[in-house]
Amino acid sequence: MAEEKKAQEKEKIPKMQALYDDLFFIFLLGAVVLVVFYTLWGVMELANLPLWPR
């Protein structure tokens, strides 16, 4: 009975709130945005610059 009640309470949590409560998911999104847009894009652009002719 108590378990059923608990399960019902769990179901009531709105999806967005569950998403906001998921710290790992937020971390993952933050990592993807930073690494893709700032780090990888920036490094790729520098790596593709032509070298100064010697």
Q: Where does this chain bind another protein (CB under 8 A)?
A: 16-17, 20-21, 23, 26-27, 29-31, 33-34, 37-39, 41-43, 45-46, 49
Work out the burial of residue 40: count CB atoms within 10 Å of its CB; fewer than 13 is exposed, 13-18 middle, 19 or more buried: exposed
In the complex with another protein, the residue whose CB is nearer, 4 or 9, is: 9
Q: Looking at this protein, which amino acid is placed at residue 7?
A: A
Residue 1 beta carbon to another protein: minimum distance, rounded to whole angstroms: 18
Amino acid at 25: F
Contact predicate 31/24, CB 8 Å:
no
Query: For residues 2 and 46, which CB has a smaller minimum distance to another protein in the complex?
Result: 46
